[in-house]
Amino acid sequence: MELRSLRSLRSKTLRKGQIRRKMINADKPHLWKNDVAASVDMYNNWFMKFAPKTYRDKRAEVTKHVRTGLLKTEDLENITTTVLQANPGILPMLRMSTCPPLARDRLIGLAYADKNVVLRMEEGACPLRISAVDLGRNLERIAGTLTKLLDQDIFPWLAAKKKATTRERARASTIIADRMCGAQSDPIIRNAQEARQLKLISDYLTAKCYVQKNHPSSKPITDMPHGTFGLRMGVVGIQLDRSGNEKKVNIPVDVVIQPHEPRRHRAPILIECKSAGDFTNVNKRRKEEAAKIAQIHNAPDTGEAEFILFLCGYFDGQYLGYEAFEGIDWIWEHRIEDMDQLGL
């Protein structure tokens, strides 16, 4: 995107009150190529060093959950409605114990089960707004489907009609845990990366004498004390329907900062942490930030707030050009000192 068009866009954004300062990176397309390369290298280095441990730690945690599930079902020999009703949280483990492993929707289809029943069980509970008879029928269908499809190569004691040995149980638990983590590998890595980014920003702000203190959502965000910051805070925005009617929505923001010297409008700085391990997904989801910032800027308390992305990983020129066109600026994790330009 040409620099001239970016300046033109910035002028339009100013009329909305969304930007009141010189941009940090969005208006410097001549730097994007090198920054993308540096960001990719940084993400890859982190992934190679920390992702395997993060995955192994999560697998160890899930393995304990699988062993509990085996215990509750008497090593899968007793998958009954009674057991499922008393322990609905073991359903994800049981889905991964079949051949082939079953996605949630696939189980719903095969068992002719009520979708709400399965979704609530996945959350660790049985639905309350259902009759005992209907719940029992659903659980019976689910139990029958799972029992028929159990992967006997992983659970050899079932075919042999004998008790599982300690070694067999341990091996099976690790395999099922690996299946469960494999299905959730991207969220596991993404959550670990987000936690690391939040710590990096927290350390940066703490070094500048900021105090972490989440502001109550019941109070106007403009009343947030100066020299404080909050993590994963809810910020009130305004969503407009097709008729132009306004509706308040609670928007989660990763980092909210009220500078030591608050701006005239007292709206804080809002930072969204973003990391990505490939170029495809970020371009699929790039409209999310634009929608979020529009809702934030529609609200009276946050209409003047600065919204900044904190990027690490695979964010290419296509993604950056789109965000710049929407008037959204960003800071690269590999050059966190750019945060100094926010006047903190």
Tell me, yes or no, if the pTM score tops 0.75.
no
Strand partners, 250: 236
Q: Are residues 333 and 194 in the same domain?
A: yes
Per-residue pLDDT of the chain (344 residues; tens, 9 = 90+): 443 444 444 433 433 444 446 889 999 999 999 999 999 999 999 888 888 888 888 888 899 999 999 999 999 999 999 999 999 999 999 999 999 999 999 999 999 999 999 999 999 999 988 999 999 999 999 999 999 999 988 999 998 999 999 989 999 999 999 888 877 777 888 888 999 999 999 999 999 999 999 888 788 888 899 999 999 998 888 887 777 778 888 888 999 999 998 888 888 999 999 988 888 777 777 777 788 888 888 887 777 888 999 999 999 998 999 899 888 999 999 999 999 999 88
Q: Are residues 93 and 196 in the same domain?
A: no
Q: Are residues 152 and 203 in the same domain?
A: no
Q: Are residues 263 and 194 in the same domain?
A: yes
Domain boundary among 184, 218, 253: 184
Using DSSP bridges, classify how beta strands 246-258 and 269-276 pair: parallel, antiparallel or unpaired: antiparallel
Burial of 246 (0-12, 13-18, 19+ CB in 10 A): exposed
Q: Are residues 239 and 194 in the same domain?
A: yes
Q: Are residues 204 and 323 in the same domain?
A: yes
Closest CA to 172 of 193, 151, 149: 151
Residue with tokens 């979708």: 115
Domain region containing 179: 58-184
Domain boundary among 184, 210, 225: 184
Q: Are residues 196 and 304 in the same domain?
A: yes
* Contacting residues for 43 by C-beta, under 8 A, at least 6 apart: 193, 275, 276, 277, 312, 313, 314
Q: Are residues 202 and 168 in the same domain?
A: no
Q: Are residues 273 and 325 in the same domain?
A: yes
Q: Are residues 273 and 332 in the same domain?
A: yes
Cβ–Cβ under 8 Å, residues 27 and 324:
yes
Using DSSP bridges, classify how beta strands 306-313 and 329-332 pair: parallel, antiparallel or unpaired: parallel
Q: Are residues 202 and 315 in the same domain?
A: yes
Q: How many CA atoms lie within 13 A of 29 on its CB side?
A: 16
Domain boundary among 184, 210, 233: 184
Number of domains in the chain: 2
Q: Are residues 167 and 254 in the same domain?
A: no
